[in-house]
Structure formats: structure tokens, C-alpha cells
């Protein structure tokens, strides 16, 4: 019977034992060649208590947003400690290539990355929101990985950690740049996500009475089948506004429509738009328009 209980991995040494590798060169950081991975029928999902950065080829298809893509480009993904990695359907592909970089959180202690690494939102993206790389970008990333590998495989001295941390910061900076490029260049997918966002909010606010309350960022992200962090990063890059701002913008649009075309009281409109208290609605409306709801309505009379 297949085991769906995630297997927890807490160290680089444990990864090497599972894969039948020799003892790791460094106890807190290591790189694994994906071509050497082997299937383990007893492990369906893994939780790493490590930071994991992967670059792979040979996956054939990947869900990106709400669409499947065929691709030959290198594909990067980022995981923070505690996230679950599930095995690929059909097992490990025969043509799988690439690497996995494992970083134990203790390696970052007392370094510039100790807190800074939490600022990279792509560590919170879902696995289907990976980073597509051009050949040029992939080569650049692989040079950094070779530098890291060469450093931790050489004699460890007082400079080793600083050198590796500098290389990691460079890698993460490039990843940030490439994700922002991806938000811009994948116009078809991203425009469809924006269109779908508009449809979701329009449908939600078109209900006669929103007794379920205001739509949350989590609700919208789940409807779009992408993670909260990825959606926030995408919208910020494409529109300069957060997901919450998009939700509020649609709400104000609907409020203006009701204020200008109906005789409903402000309290009734607030209730129909999902507010528990009309004061909260009036405060938000004033913040967004510099007018109270009544002032806006009077401007139409």
C-alpha cells in the first residue's frame, strides 16, 4: 500500500544515506545531481527541514498558473523548511537532469542571509509557479552552483562560509530578477490571470447580499489556482497594486454603482457588499475616494 505520510528529512547526511551516497563534504550544505536520483516506493512525499533550490530538465509538462506548458528550458523551484515535496506522477523521469541544492538553516546563522532569505517571496510560491530559465540564464545559475560546490568541497577555512553566502546571495538576486522578467514576458498567461481575477471579483460582488463577507486574498488565490504570495508578486509587478487593493478597487466600483443608481441606504449597501458594520464600509470608501458615501451620492443629484 502506498505511503502518503510525508517523510521528514532533517539533515544533509540523511539525504545522502537515503540515496546511497558517500558521506557529505559539508554537514550543512550540499548539491545533489538529479540524474542520480532513484525511486523509493515507500516514500511518496517528503518534508525537508532545509531550504531547497532545484533546477531541473526533463519534466515534459508543468502547470503554470492554470495552463500546461511543454518546455525544454531549465526550471527552478524554491522551498523553505517545512514545505512538502510530492513525488512526480509516474515516478522519476528517465531523462531528468539538473540539481538540488540543500541548505540547513544553521548554515545561515550569523550571516547576512539569516533574516534576508525570508524576504525572497519565491520561497513561498507553490511548485507549479516555478521559474523558467533561458539557456543564458541557466548557464549563469550553473556557474554559481559550480562555485558553491567547488568551495564546500575544498578545505574548509574561516572564509568558506562567507564565500558560499556571497554566492547564495548572488543566486537569489538573479532569481528575483528572473521572476520579475517572467511576470512581464509571459504576457498571455498573466493577462488571462488578470482577466480571471476580474471575473471572480465581478461574480462575487454581483450577489444580491454577500452574507459570507468580503472576499479574502486566500479565496481569490485559490480560485486562480495559484499561491497567495505568487499572486501578490505578479499583481505588484504587472499593476503596481496588491491583491487586497484589487479587491478593494472592485468593491468601490460596485459601491459607486449602487450609490448612484439605487435608493438603498448606506447601511443597506454596506450589508450587500459584505460588511458587518456600515462604519467600516464608510471608512474604506472615504479612504479610497476622499468622499463619504453620502457625499458621493449627493454629487450625482
Q: Average pLDDT of 45-71?
A: 67
Please say if the pLDDT value at position 38 is more than 50: yes
Residue 246 has a CB neighbour count (10 Å cut-off) of 19
How many other β-carbons are positioned within 10 Å of the β-carbon of residue 228? 18
70 falls in which pLDDT band (50, 70, 90)? very low
Mean per-residue pLDDT for 12-40? 88
| pLDDT the model gives residue 90 | 52
Closest CA to 107 of 25, 167, 51: 51
The C-alpha angle with vertex 56 and arms to 142 and 2, in degrees rounded to 5, equals 145
User: Who's near 124: CB < 8 A, 6+ residues apart?
Assistant: 80, 227, 228, 229, 230
Cβ neighbours, 10 Å, residue 136: 8
- Integer Cα distance of 188 and 81 in angstroms: 33
Average pLDDT over residues 38-45: 69
Most confident among 79-88, 182-191, 209-218, 240-249 (mean pLDDT)? 240-249
Report pTM. 0.83
Question: pLDDT exceeding 70 applies to what percent of the chain?
Answer: 85
* pLDDT at site 212: 65
> Given this model, what pLDDT does residue 96 score?
76
Nearest to 237 by CA among 177, 277, 195, 279: 177
Q: What value does the mean pLDDT take over residues 156-181? A: 94
The residues near 116 (Cβ < 8 Å, ≥ 6 apart) are 169
Average pLDDT, the chain: 86
- In 10 A of CB 126, how many CB atoms? 16
Please check the confidence at residue 18 and state whether its pLDDT lies above 60.
yes
Write the CA distances from 14 to 34, 36, 43, 150, 191, integer angstroms. Answer: 16, 16, 14, 21, 43
Interior/surface letters 168-180, b for 16+ CB within 10 angstroms, e for the rest: bbbbbebbbebbe
Give Cα 151 to chain centroid, integer Å: 30
CA distances from 180 to 6, 15, 301 (A): 32, 32, 46
Looking at the chain, list the stretches that DSSP marks H as alpha helix, in order from N- to C-terminal side: 12-19, 113-116, 135-153, 160-185, 187-205, 217-224, 228-239, 243-261, 266-272, 278-289, 293-298
Amino acid at each position: 500500500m502506498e505511503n502518503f505520510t510525508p517523510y521528514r528529512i532533517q539533515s544533509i547526511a540523511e539525504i545522502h544515506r537515503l540515496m546511497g551516497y558517500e558521506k557529505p563534504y559539508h554537514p550543512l550544505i550540499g548539491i545533489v545531481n538529479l540524474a542520480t536520483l532513484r525511486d523509493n516506493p515507500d516514500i511518496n512525499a517528503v518534508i525537508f527541514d532545509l531550504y531547497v533550490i532545484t533546477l531541473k530538465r526533463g519534466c515534459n509538462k508543468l502547470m503554470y498558473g492554470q495552463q500546461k506548458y511543454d518546455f525544454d528550458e531549465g526550471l527552478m523551484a524554491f522551498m523553505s523548511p517545512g514545505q512538502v515535496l510530492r513525488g512526480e506522477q509516474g515516478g522519476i523521469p528517465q531523462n531528468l537532469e539538473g540539481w538540488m541544492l540543500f541548505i540547513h538553516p544553521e548554515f545561515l546563522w550569523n550571516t547576512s542571509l539569516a533574516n534576508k532569505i525570508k524576504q525572497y517571496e519565491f520561497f513561498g510560491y507553490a511548485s507549479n509557479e516555478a521559474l523558467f530559465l533561458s539557456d543564458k540564464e541557466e548557464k549563469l545559475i550553473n556557474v554559481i552552483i559550480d562555485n558553491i560546490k567547488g568551495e564546500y568541497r575544498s578545505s574548509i577555512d574561516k572564509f568558506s562560509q562567507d564565500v558560499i553566502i556571497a554566492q547564495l546571495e548572488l543566486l537569489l538576486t538573479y532569481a528575483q530578477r528572473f521572476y520579475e522578467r517572467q511576470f512581464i514576458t509571459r504576457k498571455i498567461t498573466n493577462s488571462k490571470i488578470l482577466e480571471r481575477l476580474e471575473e471572480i471579483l465581478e461574480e462575487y460582488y454581483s450577489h444580491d447580499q454577500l452574507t459570507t463577507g468580503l472576499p479574502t486574498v486566500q479565496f481569490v488565490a485559490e480560485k486562480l489556482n495559484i499561491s497567495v504570495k505568487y499572486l501578490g508578486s505578479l499583481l505588484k509587478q504587472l499593476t503596481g497594486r496588491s491583491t487586497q487593493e484589487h479587491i478593494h478597487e472592485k468593491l468601490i466600483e460596485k459601491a459607486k454603482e449602487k450609490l448612484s443608481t439605487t435608493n438603498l441606504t448606506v447601511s443597506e449597501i454596506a450589508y450587500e457588499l459584505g460588511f458587518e458594520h456600515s462604519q467600516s464600509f464608510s471608512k474604506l470608501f472615504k479612504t479610497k475616494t476622499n468622499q463619504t458615501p453620502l457625499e458621493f451620492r449627493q454629487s450625482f443629484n
